[in-house]
Amino acid sequence: MKSSRRLAIFISLVVYVIGTSLVLVALSTDFWAESEPLHRFGKASKYSYFHTGLFVGVRQLDYGYGPRREYFSMFAELDDGISFFGKFTWIFTLFLIGVGLIWSFVGLFVSFLNLFVEEINTVAGPRGLHIWSWLSGEI
């Protein structure tokens, strides 16, 4: 029974590491929103594109004189009011990702602690893994 419990805790540790890694990689990507700009007559240019992440983005537009690439910050886009995201949506997204990461780190710590320490019958023990998993999964 003890070895199966340790195996379950180790599997939860691996799942926490994978989940936390995926969230951190998703935060660093520039492809949260993508768009293909259209000309006035509805035809898309093959040299024009637009994509943005949570913090930075790139837009390349072809006005007829060749494509022009521009890097921009989401902070400036939100201040100007020309972003795909609204300010409230952007702030709420960052807040929920932050809370989810905090609970994931707590779950990582608890599962790592339970691999090497004797069983504790509190929220820091194996029963606490259910709480931290539920909280990080709900966010």
Model confidence over 69-81: pLDDT tens digits?
888 888 888 878 7
Q: Which domain holds residue 26?
A: 2-138
How far is C-alpha 53 from the chain's CA centre?
10
Structure tokens at 80: 């100007």
Q: Mean of the pLDDT values across residues 4-14?
A: 81
* Residue 138: pLDDT over 60: no
Query: What are the phi and psi torsion angles at 62 (to 5°)?
Result: -115, 105
Provide the CB-side half-sphere exposure for 96 (13 A, CA).
9
Asked if residue 60 lies in contact with residue 70, where contact means CB atoms within 8 angstroms, the answer is: yes
Tell me the pTM.
0.67
Q: What pLDDT was estimated at residue 87?
A: 83
Question: For the chain, how many structural domains are there in total?
Answer: 1
Query: What are the phi and psi torsion angles at 2 (to 5°)?
Result: -65, -40
User: Which of 61, 87, 62 shows the shortest CA–CA distance to 74?
Assistant: 87
Q: Is 42 left (phi over 0), alpha (psi -120 to 50) or beta?
A: left
pLDDT-based confidence at residue 129 (cuts at 50, 70, 90): low
